[in-house]
Amino acid sequence: MRQKPVSPVYGGNHNGKRAPGRPRSEQARLAILRNTLQILAERGFSAFTIEDVAGRAGVGKTTVYRWWPNKGALIADAFANSTIRSLRFPDTGSLHTDIRLQMRELVKIFCGRRGRIVSAMLAAGQADKDLIAAFRDRFLWPRRREAYATLRRGIRRGELRRDVDLNLLLDSLYGPIYMRFLIRHDRLTADFVDRLSALVLGAVRPRGKSRPHSKTL
């Protein structure tokens, strides 16, 4: 039987077959992100340089700058990339449970070694507009858009008032977490998250509705 010709595949070898594993550019990107976090953990924000990351990742400095315009963007991206899975909002059928579980994961990150990265970015970002913009654009806003979708599900299910101000609601939920994280006037705990989410969401439930339902863990 006559063999059909193999169509060429982008990124494949001369036989038209895709090479196994990730594309080389994706491997390089992930190596840069991974080494960014490692170097930050070892040396801190002030001693962090693009040159060190490029050398550790085995790429040229121009490769790093091709994807990230400055070290603030790189650090924000590396942190955001490391939290994507854990900070996704679940869809359990209960708005209170979805919000509470996601807030708990955020608190875990803030209380762990990656919390030091957030603290350094927010502190340095007060004098560095590019850094704080990178934190907003690459970490805060993607999570915020997911939160909007979660809140709108709650509205459709009748768990939230339809006239609720989503921005004010999110600031009321997450603002106290950032305050305790930065000011350290009290502890960040799972119990704090549970009480905070119940208090805030309870204030915006439709009239006649009972307190927010929360599935136990």
Q: Into how many domains does the chain fold?
A: 2
20 — pLDDT class (breaks 50, 70, 90): low
Q: Is residue 63 in some structural domain?
A: yes
Mean pLDDT in residue range 117-133: 91
Q: Say yes or no: 132 and 160 in one domain.
A: yes
Q: Say yes or no: 96 and 190 in one domain.
A: yes
Report the share of the chain in percent with pLDDT over 90: 76
9 — pLDDT class (breaks 50, 70, 90): very low
Q: Is residue 2 in some structural domain?
A: no
Q: Say yes or no: 99 and 132 in one domain.
A: yes
Q: What sign does the CA torsion over 104, 152, 161, 97 have?
A: negative
Mean confidence (pLDDT) of the chain: 88
State residue 56's pLDDT score: 95
CATH classification at residue 164: 1.10.357.10
State residue 21's pLDDT score: 52
Boundary residue ending a domain (14, 34, 67): 67
Boundary residue ending a domain (6, 36, 67): 67
Q: Say yes or no: 132 and 53 in one domain.
A: no
